[in-house]
Amino acid sequence: MAGETIRTVCAGRTDAGVHALRQVVHFDSAARRPLSAWVRGTNAHLPAALAVRSATAVADSFHARYGAASRRYRYLLYRSAVRHPLLAQRAGWSFREIDVARMRAAAAALVGEHDFSAFRSAQCQAASPVRRLEELSLCERGPFVVFTFVANAFLHHMIRNIVGSLLAVGEGRRDPPWLAELLAGRDRTLAAATFAPDGLYLDGAQYDEHYGVPSWSAGDDALLEALR
């Protein structure tokens, strides 16, 4: 509708330098157009690095942010003695030797519902530091390590702070039980520094099935497929 102002709401906010593979956005509009027109028309006004992939009509009760039951993020880490120029701003980088098995052992302590104050930014505005981390897994693809995080919600810088601390374990600077100690201590100043935003990707949100909003699935893994 000409002259109409549309307010959009996203499933999750991201810091500067963080990417999104599957962001979910909702908006209200009195305009009536084919769903394909919402996709093509919007993309005609977006920069090359951003694209609407699909559109669907939803009930008035749908809310992209507050209706999300869980969110998935991926962190892409490149391991090499020398940085790769084509991965600038697309992957985190470590020039040290990394023991992924040690990181997996440390990560296990974080799965479940916990107070994540030890991995919370001082600028975090969340009312509570308690979050339910449903998955924290790591897989290797050649020189890459892909971290997968699934939770009901995340605190400000929570993932980047966890990745930084896991790398301290993987690089041998800390032992695996250190992550459990950090979690129990709830003191952000004792954890590792916040890791780079470059490798962090929002990879979708999940909603009640009756809304018909597509999200991630085990057989639809764009990031891992790209690394094969």
Q: Which residue numbers are catalytic?
A: 15
C-beta of residue 128 within 8 angstroms of C-beta of residue 152: no
Q: By three-state DSSP, how is residue 8 classified?
A: strand
Cα–Cα dist 117/127, whole Å: 12
How far is residue 172's CA from residue 54's CA, in Å, rounded to a whole number? 44
Distance in angstroms (rounded) separating the CA atoms of residues 180 and 138:
18
Q: Which residues contact 133 (CB under 8 A, 6 or more apart)?
A: 110, 111, 112, 113, 114, 116, 149, 150, 151
Q: CA quadruple 127, 130, 133, 139: dihedral positive or negative?
A: positive
User: Quick check: helix, strand or coil at residue 88?
Assistant: coil
Q: Which residue has the tokens 């032992």?
A: 175
